[in-house]
Structure 1
């Protein structure tokens, strides 16, 4: 995987130093520039075309959200907000930010954000048809989901099933359902294919949770989970499900 060229945008020198220190254990991330305000950042974007931007929110002049609004959508890099203010988290995800880190930076939390960045970067770098296949990425073991103003870390093996909802998914874990900003296809690319099975255009299921499969009319079927949840297995995905589950 190629180096992730990164721009740091924060009006505080010490904050940019903290980002540098947090990035030090990540040799695949190259810092190509630092900016103290939005005007400098717009110039740097045009000159450097970074792949990733760590962005503060409150800065002199244009704030971080206004900066993103001024940039052309096709020129936007991956964005991780790094700020001292937790109240802007939902707005940040609405702006398509990959993650939202609070200052002072916690290294473990920062490393989680970098893992998320790498998954998206890997999807961007995926070879097109006819290109040599790259070495498969290690499946995600955990997913960070937002609960109010906090992030909750969910082990992927604990997930029962996942349903699509536009550019979001609902991740079902026992009696809980977490709304997560990720497309179903994007999330599927990060999960273990030996554990998660697509049974419908909008549904993934943890195969360890499947108890029964009931045939229905016209080639469709119903998947019953251990907790009694019933999910539709569409005809389109039935042959693949039979192979994955060892059904004769």
Structure 2
């Protein structure tokens, strides 16, 4: 059984105690240190290897985001070649939770229960087993960059999205996304075939547990457009707009997928197609 080395970073003693006792039920997890500040955590990581950090967000002097930022930019802070996985621990904050979900990062919402902790531990263990730290490092970097842009009130549209599947995080380039479909609390990315890795080549969709509305805020409207409450398409994929009946419309995309179009978006779709935003 491989031991997973964990570091707890939380300025509040009850939070550290609760997590320490909860981890006692998971013998393959070893707490190497408990820190009350980001500075103390940096000292620990400079001296010994850490696989996973349980990182509180709101702390005095330096926040958890500051540590995440430094890890994503400067690996010399640790003894490893890739940053440790971070399980963010936070009290309820709608923005923080949405950011973690968008970037496929894991978090625990205080107070958390045993089942939610077990799920986070299982995800982390699977990623470590599959040696997915490199893809995690990219997702962490994207998260930090987006948070810094939001703080400076200069948000930039995304060029890629981090998607979680079993035991891995995959960074998908938005240039490879043909269209995006709502699927309950998930969204389904319809991709070019060559973007599906280690899977049957006939598979062309990836599910991500983020709502369509959450993602839409980060997409460049010059490249992507909403055509239905359950669909966003890439503008250069439009080839044909069919009228199926009174107020019933359907788009045909370059890959021959057919996507329903709501009547409220028809004029915008026609304008895009008239402007010549079609594949060559």
Match of 2:219 among 166, 174, 191: 191
Q: Does 1:232 align with 2:260?
A: yes
Mapped partners of 1:108, 1:210: distance in 2 = 32
Partner residue in 2 for 1:213? 241
Mapped partners of 1:110, 1:37: distance in 2 = 16
Please report the TM-score for the alignment, with normalisation by the length of structure 2. Answer: 0.52
Partner residue in 1 for 2:167? 149
Partner SS state of residue 119, structure 2: helix
Name the larger-Rg structure: 2
Partner residue in 2 for 1:110? 137
Residues 1-248 of structure 1: pairs in structure 2 closer than 5 A: 8-9=9-10, 11-13=31-33, 16-17=41-42, 45=58, 50=63, 52=65, 72-74=91-93, 77-78=96-97, 80-81=105-106, 91-92=119-120, 102=128, 106=133, 109-119=136-146, 134-137=153-156, 139-174=157-192, 175-246=203-274
List gaps (5 residues or longer) in structure 1: 1-6, 22-35, 55-63, 83-87, 127-133
Mapped partners of 2:209, 2:244: distance in 1 = 33
CA root-mean-square deviation: 4.8
List gaps (5 residues or longer) in structure 2: 1-7, 11-15, 17-30, 36-40, 47-52, 69-85, 108-115, 193-202
- Per-residue CA shift, 1:172-192, capped at 9, x if unaligned? 113421111222122112222
Aligned residues: 195
Call closer, same or farther: CA 1:81–1:224 in 2, change over 3 Å. Answer: closer
- Per-residue CA shift, 1:157-202, capped at 9, x if unaligned? 1111111123321111134211112221221122222221110011
Partner SS state of residue 73, structure 1: coil
Mapped partners of 2:215, 2:187: distance in 1 = 9
